[in-house]
């Protein structure tokens, strides 16, 4: 007989009694949609807790070793613009409340809420796995995106240096890479990025959602400040590295009015190209975002949610291909127009096409002497 599935209760905090937590995007953890039981920690019949307590202890970040056997992820989505990506981390301490990747943590038995930003899986063997996959005869040289899901330069990278290790491998093989990050820490690796630039094999995208520090601190609590991201663009461009901006995500009714200012500020800092996406709220991200609005912007909540629904066919999320990144309707058209005009006024051009012509492996080098 087949073995019975192991039954595990999930014990998490609920939204009803939560309050903002300094340094965190989420203030609670919704039930994991794959689990059969969710225990409400605010229920006095379940746990002896003081619902009137004002102080909530900060949740420390925990790190777990990810024993993955492969590192290159492939996708067939026509919306994302790339086929392969590399993610050194699962979960992200940056804590962006809107992050579409939050539900991926549920596959690990965690929650998309606080767990996503406080229980981080680290792929310490990522550089070795990457080296093995690039050496394989089945690898077809192509641009790798770092990272397609969570930020490769989140705070723990300063210590673990996994992303840097992967860049060392990519520089050795001269395999092109496109980087997306919200952290100025990317400037630490300018030496490797310059090496890749020699072969037209790198482009860096700084993601800028808002130029308002007060908004950024609660929307993306552990990311670099807007000014720090602009400084990163300046440093990268001063070093000759192709650098652009991702105005992402655009949140209608909250950040959409900033699009022209973001493009102008980034262009002055040196950004050469730009892109944008509209906020996506899959699965548990929707209730998390709704609750966040109630905590921080209750006066704008209905306006923001109403516009998102207008973009998404009267829903908070629509995963339909070809429209999930931009939405539909009049607000989608307004955002697209703001972005297009903003790029033209700022003098921002198209993204560069990276080259695979210089790709090499150790076997390639050996044949040179054969």
Q: Are 160 and 122 in contact (CB under 8 A)?
A: yes
Q: Which residue has the tokens 């609005």?
A: 293
**Model confidence pLDDT, tens digit, residues 228-280:** 999 999 999 999 999 999 999 999 999 999 999 999 999 999 999 999 999 99
What is this structure's pTM?
0.89
What pLDDT was estimated at residue 42?
42
**R_g of the chain computed on alpha carbons:** 21
Instruction: Give me 102's structure tokens.
Output: 């939050």
Segment 163-169 long-range contacts (CB within 8 Å, at least 24 positions apart): 163/88, 163/189, 164/188, 164/189, 164/192, 165/126, 165/127, 166/71, 166/86, 166/88, 166/126, 166/127, 166/130, 167/192, 167/193, 167/196, 168/127, 168/192, 169/127, 169/130, 169/131, 169/134
Could you tell me which residues are beta bridge partners of residue 62? 119
Examine residue 329 and say whether the peptide bond preceding it is cis (omega within 30 degrees of 0): no
Residues 123-146 have a mean pLDDT of: 97
CA distance 87 to 152: 7
> Three-state DSSP class for 63?
strand
Terminal Cα-to-Cα distance of the chain (whole angstroms): 58
What pLDDT was estimated at residue 47?
37
Which of 93, 94, 75 is CA-nearest to residue 84?
A: 75
Residue 8: pLDDT above 50? no
Instruction: Give me 82's structure tokens.
Output: 């790339």
Instruction: Give me 279's structure tokens.
Output: 């906020």
**Average of per-residue pLDDT values in the chain:** 90
Residue 52: partners with Cβ closer than 8 Å, 6 or more residues away:
none
pLDDT level of residue 31 (50, 70, 90 thresholds): confident
Residue 4: pLDDT above 80? no
**Model confidence pLDDT, tens digit, residues 189-222:** 999 999 999 999 999 999 999 999 999 999 999 9
CA 320 to the chain's CA centroid:
20
What pLDDT was estimated at residue 3?
47
Which of 220, 142, 217 is CA-nearest to residue 175?
A: 142
Could you tell me which residues are beta bridge partners of residue 145? 85, 178
**Model confidence pLDDT, tens digit, residues 236-248:** 999 999 999 999 9
Residues 135-140 have a mean pLDDT of: 96
pLDDT level of residue 226 (50, 70, 90 thresholds): very high
What pLDDT was estimated at residue 230?
98
Which of 160, 70, 56, 74 is CA-nearest to residue 114?
A: 56
pLDDT over 90, % of the chain: 80
pLDDT level of residue 363 (50, 70, 90 thresholds): low
CA 134 to the chain's CA centroid:
24
**Model confidence pLDDT, tens digit, residues 332-343:** 999 999 999 999
Residue 29: pLDDT above 60? yes
Q: Where are the domains of the chain?
A: 10-47+61-354
Q: Which residue has the tokens 């100025």?
A: 184
| Order of all β-strands in the sheet with 89-90 | 62-65, 119-122, 89-90
Which of 291, 252, 273 is CA-nearest to residue 350?
A: 273
User: How many CA atoms does the CB half-sphere of 7 hold within 13 Å?
Assistant: 4
**Model confidence pLDDT, tens digit, residues 46-84:** 334 444 445 456 789 999 999 999 999 998 888 888 899
| CATH class of the 10-47+61-354 domain in this structure | alpha beta
CA distance 107 to 109: 6
């Amino acid at each position: 007989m087949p073995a019975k599935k192991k039954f595990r209760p999930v014990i998490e905090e609920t939204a009803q009694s939560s309050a903002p937590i300094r340094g965190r995007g989420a203030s609670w953890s919704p039930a994991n949609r794959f689990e059969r039981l969710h225990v409400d920690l605010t229920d006095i019949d379940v746990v002896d807790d003081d619902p009137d307590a004002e102080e909530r202890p900060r949740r420390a970040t925990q790190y777990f070793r990810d024993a993955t056997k492969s590192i290159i992820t492939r996708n067939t989505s026509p919306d994302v613009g790339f086929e392969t990506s590399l993610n050194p981390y699962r979960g992200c301490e940056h804590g962006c409340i809107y992050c579409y990747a939050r539900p991926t943590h549920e596959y690990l038995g965690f929650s998309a809420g606080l767990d996503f930003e406080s229980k981080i899986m680290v792929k310490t063997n990522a550089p070795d796995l990457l080296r093995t996959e690039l050496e394989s005869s089945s690898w077809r040289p192509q641009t790798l995106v770092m990272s397609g899901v969570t930020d490769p330069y989140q705070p723990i990278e300063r210590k673990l240096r996994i992303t840097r290790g992967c860049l060392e491998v990519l520089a050795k093989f001269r395999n092109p890479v496109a980087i997306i990050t919200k952290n100025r820490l990317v400037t630490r690796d300018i030496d490797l990025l310059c090496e890749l630039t020699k072969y037209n094999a790198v482009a860096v995208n700084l993601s800028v959602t808002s130029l308002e520090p007060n908004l950024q601190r609660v929307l993306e609590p552990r990311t670099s400040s807007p000014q720090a991201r602009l400084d990163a663009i300046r440093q990268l461009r001063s070093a000759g590295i192709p650098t652009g901006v991702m105005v992402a995500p655009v949140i209608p009714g909250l950040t959409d009015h900033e699009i022209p200012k973001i493009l102008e500020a980034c262009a002055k800092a040196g950004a050469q190209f730009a892109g944008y996406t509209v906020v996506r709220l899959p699965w548990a991200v929707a209730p998390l975002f709704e609750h966040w609005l109630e905590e921080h912007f209750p006066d704008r909540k209905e306006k923001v949610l109403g516009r998102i629904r207008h973009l998404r066919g009267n829903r908070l999320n629509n995963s339909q291909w070809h429209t999930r990144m931009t939405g539909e309707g009049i607000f989608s058209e307004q955002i697209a127009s703001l972005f297009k005009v903003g790029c033209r006024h700022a003098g921002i051009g198209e993204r560069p096409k990276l080259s695979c012509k210089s790709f090499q492996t150790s076997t390639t080098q050996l044949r040179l002497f054969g």
